[in-house]
Amino acid sequence: MTTMDYARERAVEALSKTRAVVLVTSGPAGLLAGEFSCEAIGLELYLLVPQTSDHLFNLEQEAAVALVSDAWELKGKAQVVSPAPADIALALWHSAEAKWCALVRVEPRQMQIRREAGWGNIETIDLETR
């Protein structure tokens, strides 16, 4: 296994354990932070964001986002997606809250894994594909 394979596998593992994140966006609505339900498929993270949220307005203008969980921090690129229910294998998309939300897909660019005890990060994983 190459170092890059290990790093990607480590990121997939960290994302798969996460069920809620704080999303940070910036744009015409200003700098915003809010906590949202999420689910990962591989290296893509999907969030349910209420349709009335100003985060969606910001994402129309600026795709760069930051996400924070209790185990990691992530920088990435986000976009609102409109999947047909049969096209996506997300339990999240079939939850009760989904009918009031937009589905946002985040492509990670860089992830920092936090230490389990103490402060600071233990590992930085660059995931950007060229």
Look at residue 29 in the predicted model and tell me its pLDDT: 97
pLDDT of residue 2: 62
Q: Tell me what the pLDDT averaged over the chain comes to.
A: 89
Nearest to 72 by CA among 33, 40, 120: 120
- Tell me which amino acid residue 3 is: T
Distance CA 64, CA 108 (A): 10
Residue 74 near residue 107 (C-beta atoms within 8 A): no
Q: How confident is the model at residue 87 (pLDDT cuts 50, 70, 90)?
A: low
Q: Report residue 22's pLDDT band, with 50, 70 and 90 as the boundaries.
A: very high
Reported confidence tier of residue 1, pLDDT bands at 50, 70, 90: low
Q: Which domains does the chain have, with CATH numbers?
A: 3-126 (2.30.110.10)
% of the chain exceeding 90 in pLDDT: 66
The pLDDT, as a whole number, for residue 3 is 58
Pairing of strands 44-50, 101-114: antiparallel
Q: How far apart are CA 41 and CA 80, in angstroms?
A: 16
The encoded tokens of residue 25 equal 């966006």
